[in-house]
Amino acid sequence: MHETPADAGGPVTHLEPHSANNYHPLPVVIAEAEGTWVTDTEGRRYLDCLAGYSALNFGHRHPDLIAAAHAQLDRVTLTSRAFRHDRFADFTAAVARLTGMDVVLPMNTGAEAVETAIKLARRWGYRVKGVAAGQATIVVMDSNFHGRTTTIVGFSDDPVAHEDFGPFAPGFVRIPFGDAAALEAAIDDTTVAVLLEPIQGEAGIIVPPEGYLREVRRITHERGVLMIADEIQSGLGRTGTTFACDLEDVVPDVFVLGKALGGGVVPVSAVAARRELMDVFTPGSHGSTFGGNPLAAAVATEVVRLLETGVYQARGRELGDRLATRLRALPSSQVAEVRCIGLWAGVELVAPVARAVSEALMTRGVLAKDTHATTIRLAPPLTITAEEIDLLADALAAAIDEVLPVPAVTTG
C-alpha cells in the first residue's frame, strides 16, 4: 500500500508549499525556544518532550553552549581540514577522554558517522583480520535505525525507509535484536563487525534483555569481530549514564556519536576508536569538508565539559525514575507497555493511535512524537524539572483519555 502524498502530509504541508513531503510534522510552528520550552508564532508555549530526537539533551540554547558558539563565531568558523585550526586538538581530546578511546574522526551527521564506522570495519577486516577481498560482512539488528543513506537504508527492515530506493549495498546480515545465540550463529570467517544500537531508539526505546550487551562483547572478543555501538541517540546522558553501554560496563571497539554532541546548535558527529583500528584510514581515504570545523569543535568541546560534570547523567537517573513511576501508573486498558530507561521512554498504546495522542498532547502544551503507529516516544531535555515531568505525565494521561477513553465502569 502506498500512501498518497495527501495522506502522508499534514495540514502544515499547505503552509509550506515548497517543502518536500518527507516529514509529517505536528502542526506547530516554533519561533523561539529556551531550556525545555518552545514558543510558537502565536506566543503559545509548549514543553519540548522530544528534544530534537535527543539532539537537545542540554535543552534549547544552553547558555554555556551558546556562549561557546558566539565566541567562536567571532574568531573563525571554517578552515576545511586542508589546514589545521586551534580548536581541533581540544575537541578530539575531549571526545577521546569521554569515550576512553585514543582517536576521534569527526563528521557532521549521524548517518555519516555510521558510514565511517562501516568503512573502518571493512578496511580493518581486509587489512588486519585477513578477510578475502570484497567478502566482508557486518551483522546488524532487526528494527535497527542508523540513518538514511542508501547503504544504511539497504539493511533496514522498515519498508517505509527502504522501499524503492535499491539496489542496495551487499555485505550485511540481519539478526534478531537481543538474541545472543543468533549472533553466535551469524558470525563466520567473513564477519568483520557487529553494528548495533545498545538500546534501539527509533524502534521505540527497545531495551535488550539484561546481560545482552555483555554477551555481544564476549562473543565479538572471542570471534575476532569488532563491536560498533551506535550511541547517536542513546549516548551522552540520555540513559542516566554517559553511554548506554555503561549500563552493562561494556566498552565497544568503536563508538559512533552524533545528535547531542552538537549541543542542539550545530550538527556534529564522530567515530571514536583505539589508534590501531582508526589507523586503517590514511590521508585521502575518508573525510568531510565540514567535519570537525572550528564552530562544531568549540560547541562539542563544551558539550563534553557539561557531561564531565556528571550533572546530566544524574538528572537522567533521578528524573528518569520519576518519569518511569508516573508512566507505569497509566491504566493497562490504554497502555500495553512502558519501556523507560533514564529520561527516555517508549509508551506502547493498546491501539495504533500514537499520532492522534501526539496531537492531543500538543493541544495540552506538550510536544512529543509518535514512532510507528502504537508508540509515543518521550525524550525530554535532561534539564527538565520534577514539576515539568508531572506536567508531562498529567498531559499524557489526559491526551490518552481523550483518544482512548477508558470504558466506563458500570455500577449498580
* Contacting residues toward ligand PLP, per CB under 6 A: 53, 109-111, 114, 145-147, 197, 201-202, 230, 232-233, 258-259
Measure the CA–CA gap between 348 and 377, rounded to whole angstroms: 9
Nearer to ligand PLP, 230 or 388 (CB): 230
Among residues 371 and 374, whose Cβ is nearest to ligand PLP?
Answer: 371
Grid cell 512529543 in the structure block, residue: 368
Q: Which is nearer to ligand PLP, 140 or 360 (CB)?
A: 140
* Spatial contact of 3 and 373, defined as CB atoms under 8 Å apart: no
Q: Which of 58, 88, 91, 145 is catalytic?
A: 145
Query: CB of residue 330 vs ligand PLP: minimum separation in angstroms?
Result: 25
Shortest Å distance, C-beta 133 to ligand PLP:
29
Active site residue 119: no
Please say which residue, 261 or 360, places its beta carbon nearer to ligand PLP.
261
Which CB, 53 or 126, lies closer to ligand PLP? 53
172 tagged catalytic: no
Q: Among candidates 234, 215, 245, which has minimal Cα distance to 339? A: 234
Identity of the residue numbered 258: G
The torsion region of residue 43 among left (phi > 0), alpha (psi -120 to 50) and beta comes to left
d(CA 8, CA 253): 40
Q: Which three cell numbers stand for residue 12?
A: 502544515
Residue 200's nearest CA partner among 387, 375, 17 is 375
In degrees, rounded to 5, the angle at the alpha carbon of residue 113 between the alpha carbons of residues 110 and 118 is 130
Contact (CB, 8 A) for 84 and 252: no
Active site residue 58: no
- What residues contact 29, with CB distance under 8 A and at least 6 apart? 12, 15, 40, 41
- Nearest approach, Cβ of residue 201 and ligand PLP (Å): 5
> How far is it, in rounded angstroms, from Cα 286 to Cα 113?
11
Smallest separation (angstroms) from ligand PLP to the CB of 304: 18
Nearest residue to ligand PLP, by Cβ distance, number only: 110
DSSP 59: -
Q: How far is the CB of 290 from ligand PLP (least distance, A)?
A: 13
Active site residues: 145, 230, 259
